A and B are shown apart, each in its own frame.
Chain A
Amino acid sequence: MKLHGPNLLVLFVASFLSVSAPLAQENAPPPENEADLSRQELWAKRRQGKRPKVEPGKLSGFESGMLWLETKGLKQILNYNYKGLYTRFNNNMSTGSGFAPGVRYWQPGMVASRLDFEATGAWSFRGYQSYGLQIGQIQRRGKIFSLEPVGTGPAFQFDEMEPKEAGFFIYGDLNYRNFPQEDFFGIGPDSIEENRTDYRLEDMTYDAVAGWQINRWLGAGIRVGYLQVNTDPGTDKRFPNTHDLFTDATAPGLARQPDFLDVSGAVMLDYRDRPGNPHKGGMVGVYLSRFDERAGGSYEFNRLVVDIRQFIPLFSEQRTLALQLFGSADSPDAGAQVPFYMMPTLGGSESLRGFREFRFRDKRTLYFSSEYRWDASPAIEFAVFYDTGKVFADRSQFSFEHMEKSFGGGIRLKTPKAVVMRFDVGRSREGTRFFFKFSPAF
């Protein structure tokens, strides 16, 4: 085939480009005499060419910010210390209080290195307040099982996330709490969601606390003190006040809040491998308390709480079956009652997760949770769960019938030692609930 003019032109252009373009790309037309340069000279020339473009090395904004957080910022924010004054974020507020920053004043080893002093204060954006004062030998409290003050009727006294160390503590403990938006739906398993009300719970405790962590597994504590309580209408404008919808008959203790002398004791056997992120082992906690009304005998009762948790690896560290059995029983003296605000509750991010916080309340609770957890990675955990439980008034009603149920799933972010973030979705007959917490379910 003979090549004609236009075809020749195409051939010429294609040939030239195919030869010179890649070559030119690999080797830009060299300056004069570069072809004569040795390899060393060629590299030296490149280095000379860089000299005018030299500039100081610097970190990007993201790198600088993260470095500051790692070396100074995060520790300073979380543990800011100005002459013993610290910031504090893990305050023991009631669920629903909202974000609650606080401060802590801590002075260990005063008075001949024997007494520790701690004062705390926390406030939430919803108006919750909490203040505390402790003095005594409390230096190692963080690593020892310790009874928290009663007041809002916490269902779980045994949320200890730290591995324990043997030790002993004794201290005086004063606490004031003001929780202005506590929810109340009525007492008993038949309370209805539409009866949601709120009230303000204010209490003051004057306690002496002592405890002994015998070894890593076993600890015991005792708390003796005086409890003063006051309730007022709540401040949550979305819901009616408890005082408007309920009476002293349907909410004992609504009209008059007695003072109590209370004595509590607890034993905790903790054999979880990592309390904050358990994959095997378990925990058994038993708590016994006596509340004596100071002026009168209308509100006197004993409380027994048992909390049993077991974590079973399913043929792998990656898969864990987590089980919890919890029971709480308040036994009022003959003719006496338990104030509604001190009754144990079910519902919320740590029990019956398809229901609202504090949804069910009565003198007795029975609760069982099973959760299948699996690690997608050491830092990411998925879970599916089934919760069931009920509240009831007296022993004769104890049975496994008519239990409330909820099920759901969640995703958690973890460190090797602890769950740091949890997002759970729970469903029940009352709808679907979403929880975002900085603690494990149990």
Chain B
Amino acid sequence: MRRNHFFLLYIVLLVLGTAVHAQKFRKDDPIWEDNDRQPIPQPAEVDELSQVADFVENTFSHRPENQVPRSENINTLGEVPDSSWFTNRMSRRVMTIEELVRGPNGREGPDTSKHWVIKGGKTQGITPGFRARDAKGDLYFIKFDPIGYPQLATSTEVICTKFFHAFGYNVPENYIARIRRENMKIDPDAEITDENGLKRKWTEDDVDRIFEKVPVDDDGTVQVVASFRLDGEIVGPFRYYGTRSDDPNDIFPHENRRELRGLRLFAAWLNHDDSRSVNTKDTFIKQGELGYVRHNLFDFGSCLGSGSVRIQGRRAGNEYMLEWTPILKAALTFGLWDRSWRYIDYPDYPSIGRFEADYFRPERWRPEYPNPAFERMQNEDAFWACKTISRFTDEMVRALVKTGELKDPAAEEYLVQSLIKRRDKILQHYLSKLNPLTDFELSSREGRTLVTFKNLAEACGLGKADSYEYRWSSFDNQTGALTPLGPQEVIAVPEVSVPRTQGNGYLAVAIGALAQSPKDWAKPVTVYLAPSPLRIVGVERE
């Protein structure tokens, strides 16, 4: 009798225990908009970050945990909803060439027909420059190329801004412009911070000194990048970890945001080794008395083969500033062990700098120093980024490179081919790491409901699945329990029939791609279907 009571108590408590499990899918899943633009008071501006402190902090702390959690800000399809951080563009659809080429630019660009008025010294970044108003009165940040390398930094910045805009990030409007020294006037109140860190008034000598150290074209003009100021008031940079303590909308730790983790692959593609907090900007977008914080990336002068004020260093993308393994190897072998990236043979294109694709290995690419979000990139995050990258055709890459207005056609073609090769290497590596099936859709045919899908790796020419194995289950949205509805089956085409079941519950199908290689394609991706009406509500990859 006592034994029976015990058993009954056990059953009751087991049921209660499982009852606390939250439901997996909610009535509005999958969402495509994260409503993180709730009105808040304007945060106080946070100081710019110390470069040294940022380097020390990220080099010696914020290392990934043993068990890195899944990205938190994703919808149930594993996609990133639109938010103050990110807008789905190429990540969700194929943009037109015109859209790609226009990028974030919403205006004609600076009016260079008359003189510019210098308003002050540029206080961010390491590229020399100034703030100036054009003939229309619009304020731009003007940046130059390093001497001996015409078009290197300016073309790079414009090209890469368009790429990052297409990826979905908030970026400034950057325009290529050609200016003349004689068209530069100085506002009487314009101040500059001199080499002693002290403010004083701009002088003609200051302007002369800048123009003496930049490449001048045969026609006497200088190519610059004119960067239109970001919308909103700057309230500091954002970090790649934690959240803003003064922004209640910022609830997902930045190191667990998919678009920041996946940024690692975009940065690797474009060799954006300077992808760190000092090159980010939070701006407060006012809506009446209140507003919200928008998160922007900016300053793409150190991308591709450009190092902003010089040609890109050989170490860029290949080794952290402080990386113990190669240091110890070199130290203990008395320098006999050498870094192979020292011997990369770059072609001599001054407008391209040091950029290549043959030595490049995306899994080994790294920025200047560790980035907490990059270090936490999981295969699923990488897959998300790969989907975007795979949408860039050769023609699109060529069109985006053309926006840099490179004068040397051989250099331009080299850049295009290098970007294409790097794109292909990224896709080849990461699409072999997990199941590449994507674009799950419901369709009807001959009275049957089908789940169709695409093999992204196959579409990119990276192999072919021999067949697909799948198994249907019913899914309890409250408990998370999966109950198989039948045996595992195999099909040769990328579509599976939805079983006719009694009841009106959720369904789930786990699909693996079978191929000689890579073996990881067989890891199942589980697609969840919600009832009434039947719709795809979730995708999970192992």
Q: Which residues of A contact B (CB under 8 A)?
A: 3-5, 8-9, 11-12, 15-16, 19-20, 23-24, 26-27, 29-30, 34-35, 37-40, 42-44, 46-48, 50-51, 54-60, 62-64, 66-67, 69-73, 75-76, 79-81, 314, 316-319, 372, 374-380, 382, 384
Contacts and interface: CB of A to CB of B under 8 A. Distances in A.
Interface residues of B, number: 67
Contacts of B342: 316-318
B507 to A, nearest CB: 20
B26 to A, nearest CB: 5
B122 to A, nearest CB: 14
A355 B33 CA distance: 73
B2 A5 contact: yes
Interface of B: 2-3, 6-7, 9-10, 13-14, 16-18, 20-23, 26-29, 31, 33-36, 38, 43-44, 46-54, 56-57, 75-76, 195-198, 236, 244-249, 251, 315, 321-323, 326-328, 330-331, 334-336, 338-339, 342
Contacts of B17: 15-16, 19-20, 23
B533 to A, nearest CB: 17
Contacts of B334: 372, 374, 382, 384
B216 to A, nearest CB: 19
Contacts, number: 181
Given A8-B6, A12-B13, A79-B196, A27 B20 contact: yes
B335 A59 contact: no
A376 to B, nearest CB: 4
A374 B14 contact: no
Task: Report the 6 A-B pairs with minimum CB-CB distance, sorted nearest first.
Answer: A374-B335, A20-B17, A66-B50, A75-B197, A27-B22, A67-B50
B38 A66 contact: no
A103 to B, nearest CB: 15
Nearest to A377: B327
A47 B38 contact: yes
Given A58-B46, A318-B339, 14 more contacts: A5-B2, A8-B3, A12-B13, A20-B20, A39-B31, A39-B75, A47-B251, A54-B245, A56-B43, A57-B46, A66-B56, A76-B196, A316-B342, A376-B335
A316 B341 CA distance: 11
Nearest to A78: B196
Contacts of B18: 19-20, 23
Given A44-B38, A47-B38, A55-B246, A15 B10 contact: yes
A44 B20 contact: no
Nearest to B330: A376
A20 B75 CA distance: 25
Contacts of A8: 3, 6-7, 10
Contacts of B23: 35
Contacts of B9: 12
Nearest to B43: A57
Contacts of B322: 377, 379
A42 B72 CA distance: 13
B236 to A, nearest CB: 7
B376 to A, nearest CB: 19
Contacts of A11: 10
B21 A27 contact: yes
A50 B248 contact: yes
B20 A75 contact: no
Contacts of A12: 6, 9-10, 13
Given A19-B17, A67-B49, A75-B196, A376 B327 contact: yes
Nearest to A3: B3
Contacts of A375: 330, 335
Which of B16, B53, B57, B326 is the most central at the interface, judged by chain A CB atoms within 10 Å of its CB?
B53
A15 B54 CA distance: 47
A57 B23 CA distance: 35
A100 B26 CA distance: 71
12 contacts: A5-B3, A8-B10, A20-B17, A26-B21, A26-B22, A39-B76, A40-B31, A79-B197, A316-B342, A319-B335, A372-B335, A375-B330
A314 B339 CA distance: 14
Contacts of B196: 75-76, 79-81
Contact of B44 (A40, A57, A62, A378): A57
B313 to A, nearest CB: 8
B35 A56 contact: no
A57 B26 contact: no
B22 A30 contact: yes
B245 A55 contact: yes
A70 B52 CA distance: 8
Contacts of B44: 56-57
Which of B23, B28, B52, B197 is the most central at the interface, judged by chain A CB atoms within 10 Å of its CB?
B197
A108 to B, nearest CB: 12
Contacts of B14: 15-16, 19
Contact of B53 (A23, A63, A317): A63
A318 B315 CA distance: 13
B68 to A, nearest CB: 16
Contacts of A23: 17-18, 20-21
A374 B197 contact: no
A66 B16 CA distance: 54
Given A43-B34, A76-B196, A81-B196, A377 B20 contact: no
Given A57-B46, A59-B47, A75-B195, A39 B29 contact: yes
A104 to B, nearest CB: 13
B118 to A, nearest CB: 21
A63 B49 contact: yes
Contacts of A39: 26, 28-29, 31, 75-76
Which of B9, B49, B246, B248 is the most central at the interface, judged by chain A CB atoms within 10 Å of its CB?
B248
A75 B22 CA distance: 57
A24 B2 CA distance: 29
Nearest to A42: B26
